[in-house]
Amino acid sequence: MTTSRILSICSILFFLFLIAVPDASATSCSTLSFFVGDARTKLVRAKNETNFEVAKDYAMRAKSALGDAEKAAMDCNCTIAIAELDTAASCARRAGNSDNSEDFVYNLNIAIRSLNSVIEALGACTGAP
């Protein structure tokens, strides 16, 4: 192989790499939307569940999805969502570890409010209208 051919191949590979980089960011942002939706579903289930232990389990599942969403927000550079996701995850954990229904409802409501703030701001991160 000649030197010019090797340089041509390297140039093509570099160009293809530059094209692929924005796709990685878009994937992170779509992952963020997925985890936010998953957390929302689990928080709603926790809120609507009549069995206290099952409701606490849903809150802990929501905490896990919120933690994943926070990591995706970091990967997506969605700084406006990171703090609210951290608050929502902490409150979902507190709700899941609650010994009484009053603490559960209090912490779950804070988690839901924080997640609602994230959902409102998500368009700025993902480019959605």
Average pLDDT, stretch 71-92? Answer: 92
CA distance 46 to 37: 14
Average of pLDDT values for 40-63?
97
pLDDT at 86 over 90: yes
DSSP class of 99 = S
Both tokens of residue 49? 């569940």
Please count the residues of the chain.
Answer: 129
Q: Which residue has the tokens 């999805």?
A: 65
pLDDT at 104: 97
Please tell me the distance from the alpha carbon of residue 76 to that of residue 27, in angstroms, as a whole number. 8
Distance (Å, whole) CA 96 – CA 79: 26
Residue 36 has pLDDT above 80, yes or no: yes
Within the chain, strands assigned E span none
Residue 46, pLDDT above cutoff 70: yes
Residue ranges of domains in the chain: 25-126
Model confidence at 3: pLDDT above 60: no
**Collapsed DSSP state (helix, strand, coil) of residue 78:** coil
Domain at 25-126: CATH architecture: Up-down Bundle (1.20)
Rounded distance between C-alpha atoms, residue 87 and residue 29, angstroms: 20
Full-model pTM: 0.75
Residues 16-21 have a mean pLDDT of: 38
Residue 72 is encoded by which pair of tokens?
Answer: 């995706």
Asked if residue 115 has pLDDT above 60, the reply is yes
